[in-house]
Amino acid sequence: MSLRTVLPLAIVMVAGPQFLSAIFLATSGRWRRNSAAYLLGAALSISLVVGIVYVSGIEFAGGDRSRPVLEAVAVAAIVLAVGYVFWTRETAEPPEWMGRLGTASPRFSFRLGFLLLGFFPTDLLTSAAVGSFLAAEGRPWTDALGFVAATLLLLALPSLAVLTLGERAEQALPRVRDAMETNAWLVNEAVLLFFLVLVVT
């Protein structure tokens, strides 16, 4: 898969609570172990979803006749999600688990990475689309490694920033985190609209 194809998919994978969690973990007490565990969990779950869909993709890769139906369902789901996010923007509360990220353990971080990147609706759909595409095209599963690597690289940016920039990153990341948390509904809307463009084009 080309970089032009992989990068938008990777952005869809990490935009939202996935990247916000990576920032929280990069500013946690055990940030090295927590960030590594988070990335490991994400890598396993993404690979698992892509692999499962790839292996069984021959049966439901979605020929030309089924693609319009699948696209219509995806568009309808995204439009409903956009409306829901907009109408609940004033009452939306951060999930409870987000409050635990500052004192997270590596085990919790691993589990969070596995669940967020493997089973968050947009991530599940994106990984499944990659596996289905590769199966339908008769391409090897290893072609998905670029997609997995790009997603992990984006998730690793906060911890890489702390590693390379030190105190400057430690001071900047909480401000980025707070801004994203305050405007979470805008981030979610941007991701959904971006995904909608990917589906209809």
Q: What is the pLDDT of residues 63-78, one digit of tens each?
A: 444 455 445 655 665 6
Interatomic CA distance for residues 191 and 194, integer angstroms: 5
168: its two tokens = 């400057």
DSSP alpha helix (H) spans, 15-105 = 17-26, 31-55, 57-60, 67-87
Q: What is the pLDDT of residues 12-27, one digit of tens each?
A: 788 777 888 888 888 7
Q: Which residues neighbour 186 within 8 Å (Cβ) at sequence distance 6 or greater?
A: none
List C-alpha distances in Å: 20 to 50, 52, 185, 188.
23, 27, 13, 12
pLDDT-derived band of residue 58, with 50, 70 and 90 as boundaries?
very low
Say if residue 60's pLDDT is above 80. no
pLDDT of residue 63: 47
Interatomic CA distance for residues 70 and 129, integer angstroms: 11
| pTM value surpassing 0.75 | no
Mean pLDDT: which of 25-29, 85-89, 180-184 is highest?
25-29
Distance between start and end Cα atoms, the chain: 17
Taking the CB of residue 171, how many other CB atoms lie within 10 A of it?
A: 11
